[in-house]
A and B are shown apart, each in its own frame.
Chain A
Amino acid sequence: MQVEKTQEFRPKIVAFCCNWCSYAGADLAGSSRLAYPADVKIIRVPCSCRVNPMFILRAFQRGADGVILCGCHPGDCHYTTGNYYARRRMTLLFSMLDYLGVENGRTRVEWVSAAEGVKFSTTMNEFVAKIHSLGENVRLGDLRCKKD
């Protein structure tokens, strides 16, 4: 089946999800058939605190148009405090990224529990809509590796 390639903007979006809450929330969105755009690709991490700012920088460097980090709600972290670390780290990173030209709307932290399939889906729909409104992430174009 050959479908004509559309010229429409298809954003690249990376979603880091913690194994215990948000990844399970995404699974629940799936089993409840709560649609969100296919542009979102999930990477499973044990905890939101596993996400190194380096991963996010790399995503933008390689052409991501948006990166979202999802973890357990404050107080509910499987490892007790991981999401607090993540929250603090991301606050710093996102403000630095904004300064570099990656607008705040392209980065987001959201708490999604294993029970919140609906929230997962709504969050992703919102986030993708936001990225559409911001358009392609061209500000870091000159930083990007164009090796392949």
Chain B
Amino acid sequence: MQRIGVFVCHCGTNIAATVDVARVVEAAAKEPGVVHAEDYQYMCSEAGQLKIREAIKEKNLTGIVVCSCSPRMHENTFRQAAERAGINPYMVEIANIREHCSWIHKDIEEATEKAVILARAAIAKVTLNAPLQSGTSRVVKRALVIGGGIAGIQTALDIADAGYEVDIVEKTPSIGGRMSQLDKTFPTLDCSACILTPKMVEAAAHEKITIYTYSEVEKVSGFVGDFQVDIRKKARSVDMSKCTGCGVCQEKCPSKKTPNEFNRGLNTRSAIYTPFAQAIPNVPVIDRENCIKFKTGKCGVCSKVCQAGAIDYEQKDEIVTQNYGAIVVATGFDTIKLDKFDEYSYSTSPDVITSLELERIMNAAGPTKGHLERMSDHKPPKSMVFIQCVGSRCADKRGKSYCSKICCMYTAKHAMLIRDKYPGVEVTVFYIDVRTPGKNFDEFYRRAVEEYGVNYIKGQVGKVAEKGDKLLVQGVDLIDNKRILMETDMVVLATAIEPNPDVRKIATMLTASIDTNNFLTESHAKLRPVESPTAGIFLSGVCQGPKDIPETVAQAGAAAVKVVGLLAKDHLVTNPCVAKSDELLCNGCSSCEKVCPYGAISYEEREVNDHGIRETRRVANVNSALCQGCGACTVACPSGAMDLQGFSNRQILAEVDAICK
């Protein structure tokens, strides 16, 4: 028989003002099994906990109920108090008489009555509690970073500097991400490559960092502290250990018609290619879909010209399997497709471009060698129109409801850079609002207007039409309240950004959650912004929400600290509230296995002793390290063999009974 103690907290007046605490104590004391009941001002205080510990010792309590605030606040506090007094921490139940009672009811009679019922339910439950032992699981002292943009690079560097091994998995042939495509960066206008390349080099040279480029995560199993990950290293068709990066192959490759992804399709590239000159690693890949050798069997030019003998047409994809204690997602973003925005003539006119394309055009290593020119006739423009919020803050389904956050600033940057380099070009910006909160950001935007004479018009553009070799822009000026019709040479669309579409696949593999816009969800919007709700998964960069580089780097560092905090532990304490199957009731039907989201259930042939009859049966076996304790299997089990410790069928039924009495 259990000996139960009940402790009712006043929480100052938070509870006591609405709930007659003395009556709760009196009622609880009458419940079967209760041998001690008392109340106190603040149960969670040191003095309150001391009362609990003393009562446990003096009255030989085997279980306790604390009637107080939400278990989400202090369940742990009281479990620790119980443990210090020598009873199992899972012999504690909380009746939530603050959030679920005193704070929402006014009538003292009603609230007291309810508090008594909640206390009874908790007493009924604790009577059926059994001591539970939390196990421990190991922590593999190695982290995985998915995505090698600035976010992934920074996170990896910070983790590696703290002394832990890190692997970066990057899908494309080089690390660097979007930042490697940018020309100059706000708010200081330093060149993107100049600040990014040293970081890429540092990551590549770091003894604790291993970089897998042209690779993807294929399978993830395991759990916090010990994830097992399969990484697919796609066949590069070039031997990394032999290639010297001379580039002859790319020059001689006869297949040169493939749209260059790095330059957003503004020019073409060879079938064997490195995405950009500073690529890391500086080893090309053969794009097998566009390689003549792979398509027809003939060619083989690169193999002939390669002095190092690095070309290997037979190379196969390779699977690397590795264990990690923590995983950081840093998969970044892309700009949205504009196929639903026909009004801007993006698909029909080469002179209507996106901002990211403009970055490439302005870049000395880009398709026009840094000369500002129209893609249709390669003539320099005399005037340009920038349209903001294309697909952002969009009321209809075509675009995104959110603000992409970076576009106001990069448009001001583009306008300023153009006016600086080509003072003869007239620049007009159509905007809904200019949003420039950030250190030195508003000053930056005002410089564009005041020093560089950029013409900002508050209003939206309804249509961009081709008119001869010009573009006709129809918009409104909301301040002067008039319609605007202007001819221009080039139109630049500040296109909304969205998470890399791959993120759905990644999130599913990691059981990390994403929101309706596919951004990864953080565990708490304010207090845990770099942790995913799934233990051991962390978030870095734009995959979590729109960000500029400074914010991305700050978040990357924060994610690294969380990872380091985890890897510094030698082992983790596991949740003992896991499922357990009764081997005598289990009929090995596999119903539970099918619903388990964590693959925690397997079957084994086990010898059982069923009331004296010994036989070998196929029974379910729960891996308590994998089980997260959702309880899905308990309901799926037709024979009632599967139960959840800490939330067992009998415990919940006892609560139901107490409430419905």
Chain A hits for B98, CB < 8 A: 30
In the complex, are the beta carbons of B114 and A38 less than 8 A apart? yes
Asked if B105 is an interface residue, CB under 8 A from chain A, the answer is yes
Shortest Cβ distance from B111 into A: residue:
A38
In the complex, are the beta carbons of B635 and A79 less than 8 A apart? no
Complex: how many Å from CA A134 to CA B628? 39
In the complex, are the beta carbons of B634 and A76 less than 8 A apart? no
> A76 touches which one: B70, B104, B118, B513 (CB < 8 A)?
B513
Asked if B613 is an interface residue, CB under 8 A from chain A, the answer is no
Min Cβ gap A59→B in Å is 5
In the complex, are the beta carbons of A47 and B652 less than 8 A apart? no
In the complex, are the beta carbons of A1 and B656 less than 8 A apart? no
Chain B hits for A79, CB < 8 A: 511, 597-598, 628, 630, 632
Complex: how many Å from CA A53 to CA B637? 12
> B631 touches which one: A34, A45, A64 (CB < 8 A)?
A45
- Taken residue by residue from 68 to 108, chain A's Cβ proximity to chain B (1 for < 8 Å, 0 otherwise) reads as 00000001101111100100010000000000000000000
Shortest Cβ distance from B657 into A: residue:
A62
Min Cβ gap A41→B in Å is 5
In the complex, are the beta carbons of A52 and B118 less than 8 A apart? no
Complex: how many Å from CA A55 to CA B649? 8
Shortest Cβ distance from B110 into A: residue:
A38
Min Cβ gap A120→B in Å is 10
> B644 touches which one: A23, A38, A46, A54 (CB < 8 A)?
A46
Min Cβ gap A65→B in Å is 9
In the complex, are the beta carbons of B108 and A1 less than 8 A apart? yes
- Taken residue by residue from 30 to 44, chain A's Cβ proximity to chain B (1 for < 8 Å, 0 otherwise) reads as 110111101001111
Asked if A112 is an interface residue, CB under 8 A from chain B, the answer is no
In the complex, are the beta carbons of A12 and B70 less than 8 A apart? no
Shortest Cβ distance from B73 into A: residue:
A27
Min Cβ gap B2→A in Å is 20
In the complex, are the beta carbons of B656 and A27 less than 8 A apart? no
Complex: how many Å from CA A60 to CA B580? 28
Chain A hits for B111, CB < 8 A: 38
Asked if B533 is an interface residue, CB under 8 A from chain A, the answer is yes
Complex: how many Å from CA A85 to CA B635? 9
Chain A hits for B70, CB < 8 A: 23, 27, 30
> B597 touches which one: A38, A80, A121, A148 (CB < 8 A)?
A80
Complex: how many Å from CA A82 to CA B108? 38
Given contacts A38-B110, A52-B635, contact A44 B661 (CB under 8 A): no
Chain A hits for B588, CB < 8 A: none
> B513 touches which one: A30, A36, A75 (CB < 8 A)?
A75
In the complex, are the beta carbons of A64 and B660 less than 8 A apart? yes
Give the size range of B's interface with the partner.
35 or more
In the complex, are the beta carbons of B652 and A45 less than 8 A apart? yes
Complex: how many Å from CA A58 to CA B121? 15
Min Cβ gap B422→A in Å is 48
Complex: how many Å from CA A76 to CA B534? 11
> A41 touches which one: B107, B108, B118 (CB < 8 A)?
B118
In the complex, are the beta carbons of A54 and B649 less than 8 A apart? yes
In the complex, are the beta carbons of B629 and A26 less than 8 A apart? no
Complex: how many Å from CA A35 to CA B103? 8
Chain A hits for B632, CB < 8 A: 47, 49-50, 79, 81-82, 85
Complex: how many Å from CA A14 to CA B660? 8
In the complex, are the beta carbons of A35 and B106 less than 8 A apart? yes
In the complex, are the beta carbons of A148 and B661 less than 8 A apart? yes
Asked if B390 is an interface residue, CB under 8 A from chain A, the answer is no
Chain B hits for A36, CB < 8 A: 104
Q: CB within 8 Å of A: which of B84-104?
A: 96, 98-101, 103-104
Chain A hits for B597, CB < 8 A: 79-82
In the complex, are the beta carbons of A58 and B656 less than 8 A apart? yes
Chain A hits for B121, CB < 8 A: 41, 43
In the complex, are the beta carbons of B96 and A46 less than 8 A apart? no
- Taken residue by residue from 102 to 132, chain B's Cβ proximity to chain A (1 for < 8 Å, 0 otherwise) reads as 0111111111011001100100000000000
Min Cβ gap A37→B in Å is 8
Most buried by B among A43, A53, A76: A43
In the complex, are the beta carbons of B656 and A31 less than 8 A apart? no
Asked if A128 is an interface residue, CB under 8 A from chain B, the answer is no
Chain A hits for B372, CB < 8 A: none
Chain B hits for A41, CB < 8 A: 114, 117-118, 121, 659
Min Cβ gap B504→A in Å is 11
Chain B hits for A44, CB < 8 A: 71
Complex: how many Å from CA A33 to CA B104? 5
Chain A hits for B584, CB < 8 A: none
Min Cβ gap B13→A in Å is 14
Chain B hits for A27, CB < 8 A: 70, 72, 96, 99-100
Min Cβ gap B640→A in Å is 9
Complex: how many Å from CA A148 to CA B658? 12
Chain B hits for A20, CB < 8 A: 533
Min Cβ gap B22→A in Å is 10
Complex: how many Å from CA A33 to CA B98? 10
Chain B hits for A24, CB < 8 A: 72
In the complex, are the beta carbons of B644 and A50 less than 8 A apart? yes
Chain A hits for B29, CB < 8 A: none
Asked if A29 is an interface residue, CB under 8 A from chain B, the answer is yes
CB pairs A–B below 8 angstroms (10 shown): A3-B109, A30-B103, A31-B103, A38-B110, A43-B655, A51-B635, A52-B635, A79-B632, A82-B632, A85-B595
What are the nearest 9 A-B pairs in CB distance? A30-B99, A50-B631, A62-B660, A79-B630, A49-B632, A47-B630, A38-B110, A30-B103, A27-B99
Q: A27-B72, A41-B118, A62-B660 are in contact. List 9 more A-B contacts (CB 8 A).
A: A23-B72, A26-B100, A45-B631, A50-B631, A62-B661, A63-B661, A78-B533, A79-B632, A85-B595
Give chain B's interface residues, CB within 8 Å of chain A: 20, 70-72, 96, 98-101, 103-111, 113-114, 117-118, 121, 511, 513-514, 516, 521, 533, 577, 595, 597-598, 628-632, 634-636, 644, 647, 649, 652-653, 655-657, 659-661
